[in-house]
Structure 1
Amino acid sequence: MSTEPREIPKALLDRFRPSTSTQIVDRRGSTVWKITIPAGKFALKVGYPIAETPDWPAQEWTALAPAREAFVLNTLHRTPVAYGQWDEGTWNCQPWQEGKNLYDLWERHRSILTLPRSEEIVQCCEAIDYLHKNGWVHGDIQPAHLITGDELNPHASLIDLALARGRPVFDRFDFPYRGCLVHYEAPEISEAVLSGGLITPTKASDVYAFGASLLMSVTGQRHVEYPDDADRADQRRAIVAKNHRSIKVGGAWGPLIAAMMQRDPDERPSVRDVAIEVASWST
């Protein structure tokens, strides 16, 4: 088994013949390129297994993630997302989503202590609500997965749907849900991961993750305090044992984010409730 690929596999180069390609992400288990082909700009994702190291166990599911994501996307969009298998795993090629992720977009708020535009949040809510209405829970909401447009092209896109749950997926591309990026994980998810029990992301855990994403994007702070060098198990223990940090965000934003991160999932608003609340501030 080879190391992480740094080049587009030859079979995919031959298939798509991109006129331009730029590597966007190269991480354990996947690489993403922005490519230009006659049909436009696309994200080409390639997945492969993660080899065992002294710090990380081996992971096979990453090889299946691009095909699984394509399956989810194809239940949501009229334009089919191409996907398939290559020597070490699976791949997909999906339309490129233009814009900034939530964390990068709100850098200005972290540096000059202003509050975000309500329109940006409503657009994010609509993207998440569309997913929920179509029978899916994202399971991995984080600032990097919310791509926002600008005033000339207002929109928000929810990307990286490989972990989404809710509707049946082809068995050959499916894998168990193991939690998400811990910086945005709801307490009930962290507790389930630690206990080794059945882990089921919900609309309520998506709302929690969205609230934690807003907190991180506006303040630069994680929802729960733990050392930067803590391993994932210790991070999750902190999330289960502690309440979220004090939310020091001005105006109506602070109470709303706090409501989204209620420890009891039943007490959190729906993402539609959040959209209605935020939209009312600009009327």
Structure 2
Amino acid sequence: MSNLAASELPIVILDAVAPTKQRCLLNRRGSAVWDVEGDRGRFAVKLGYPIEGTSEWPAQPWTALAPAREGHILFRLNVSVTYGEWEEGTWNVQPWREGPDLYDLWSPVRAEGSKVEPHLDVARSCAQTLADLHAKGWAHGDVQPAHFIIGMDATRLIDLALAHGQWVPEGYDFTYRGCLVHYEAPEISKAILETGEAVPTFESDVYGLGASLLISATGWRAVEYPDDAPRPVQRQAVADGRRRDVTMPGKLGPLVDAMLSYNPADRPTIGEVISALS
């Protein structure tokens, strides 16, 4: 199907939220995300639909299931969420998280000639929210700067559709096929190249956090490959360990360097990351 079917909120969402204001933030690659406000509050609404195959990429039916899968995980984490099915796939309605993401917040750090250093308390808050997820038995599986929302009262980790570690209903579950390669650990990229699937772990999440801190503070990806390289080429570079040298000021430099270690066992645990930032 095209994106057209997700360009309007379905009736089931209108009934659930009764919006007075609504704004579509994203509608591509099998997912539409809406910012919705109404008398019942402000919400993020996600719609999933299958990606049709073309001559350039295979069909991706799993994207239709992602919102309900995330809805189940959020429910297990005691987040106020509703989710269900619509004619093209599944949906969820979850609390709106206000604030910049990590990459946007650290834009002054990346500015040419900047003397601004990345705030360790922000890095620590990102590590803590990831540690909280790990403590509940879930590996996030899609750690990236855009998924850390730095609010006035707390840092929150969003987009949990790819999380693994606890039971997920079979009807909403699907195989993990990696995430945005910029933040994908070498063992994940290697497994996907070899078998087409992988399992995210706490160690791969630590790698993702290290890569997120690096690119947010410097603008550089952890691994070198052409900007327009196909995903298999990107993954091969990650699997081959073509990592850049980490040059970051203060204690973040050696810490991020360790978090990006090729061998998962050589990376610090998320608890050790928090201790190093305290």
Question: Which TM bucket (shorter chain)?
Answer: over 0.9
Establish whether residue 99 from structure 1 lines up as the match of residue 106 from structure 2.
no
**Which residue does the alignment assign to 1:50?**
51
Measure the CA separation in 1 of the matches of 2:87 and 2:22: 21
Measure the CA separation in 1 of the matches of 2:198 and 2:15: 40
User: Cα deviation per residue 1:88-139 (whole Å; 9 max; x = unaligned)?
Assistant: 0000000001111111111010002421111111111111011100010000
**Which residue does the alignment assign to 2:240?**
241
User: Cα deviation per residue 1:226-255 (whole Å; 9 max; x = unaligned)?
Assistant: 011110000001111133101111111110
CA contact (8 A) 2:35 2:42 kept: yes
Give 1:145's match in structure 2, choosing from 139, 144, 147: 147
**Which residue does the alignment assign to 1:216?**
215
Deviation of the 1:38 alpha carbon: 2.0
Residue 87 of structure 1 aligns with an amino acid whose one-letter code is E
Measure the CA separation in 2 of the matches of 1:173 and 1:195: 25
Measure the CA separation in 1 of the matches of 2:134 and 2:241: 29
Query: Measured at CA, do residues 113 and 242 of structure 1 come closer, stay the same or move farther in structure 2, by a change above 3 Å?
Result: farther
CA contact (8 A) 2:241 2:262 kept: no
Runs of 5+ consecutive residues of structure 2 not aligned to the other structure: none
Deviation of the 1:276 alpha carbon: 1.2
Alignment of 1:27-42 (within 5 A): 27-42=28-43
**Which residue does the alignment assign to 1:232?**
231
Task: State the SS of the aligned residue for 1:85.
Answer: strand
Alignment of 1:93-172 (within 5 A): 93-111=93-111, 112-149=114-151, 153-172=152-171
Residue 109 of structure 1 aligns with an amino acid whose one-letter code is V
User: Cα deviation per residue 1:188-229 (whole Å; 9 max; x = unaligned)?
Assistant: 000000001651111000000000011110111111110111
Measure the CA separation in 1 of the matches of 2:140 and 2:118: 23
Query: Measured at CA, do residues 198 and 9 of structure 1 come closer, stay the same or move farther in structure 2, by a change above 3 Å?
Result: closer
Task: State the SS of the aligned residue for 1:73.
Answer: helix
Residue 147 of structure 1 aligns with an amino acid whose one-letter code is I
Deviation of the 1:8 alpha carbon: 1.2
CA contact (8 A) 2:83 2:92 kept: yes
Q: Percent identity?
A: 50
Query: Measured at CA, do residues 2 and 226 of structure 1 come closer, stay the same or move farther in structure 2, by a change above 3 Å?
Result: closer
CA contact (8 A) 2:175 2:197 kept: no
Deviation of the 1:2 alpha carbon: 4.7
**Which residue does the alignment assign to 1:268?**
267
Establish whether residue 22 from structure 1 lines up as the match of residue 23 from structure 2.
yes
Measure the CA separation in 2 of the matches of 1:56 and 1:157: 33
Q: Which runs of 4+ in 1 moved over 4 A?
A: none
- Scaled by the length of structure 2, what TM-score is found? 0.96
Runs of 5+ consecutive residues of structure 1 not aligned to the other structure: none
Residue 74 of structure 1 aligns with an amino acid whose one-letter code is F
Residue 102 of structure 1 aligns with an amino acid whose one-letter code is L
Deviation of the 1:270 alpha carbon: 1.0
Deviation of the 1:28 alpha carbon: 1.0
Across the aligned residues of Structure 1 and Structure 2, the Cα RMSD in angstroms comes to 1.3
Residue 181 of structure 2 aligns with an amino acid whose one-letter code is V
Task: State the SS of the aligned residue for 1:41.
Answer: strand
Measure the CA separation in 2 of the matches of 1:120 and 1:176: 32
Measure the CA separation in 2 of the matches of 1:170 and 1:11: 22
Task: State the SS of the aligned residue for 1:234.
Answer: helix
Alignment of 1:170-181 (within 5 A): 170-181=169-180
User: Cα deviation per residue 1:26-61 (whole Å; 9 max; x = unaligned)?
Assistant: 221010111112221110000000011222211000
Residue 162 of structure 2 aligns with an amino acid whose one-letter code is L
Task: State the SS of the aligned residue for 2:36.
Answer: strand
- Scaled by the length of structure 1, what TM-score is found? 0.94
Measure the CA separation in 1 of the matches of 2:153 and 2:256: 23
Residue 140 of structure 2 aligns with an amino acid whose one-letter code is H
User: Cα deviation per residue 1:52-73 (whole Å; 9 max; x = unaligned)?
Assistant: 1222211000000000001111
Q: Give the aligned length.
A: 275
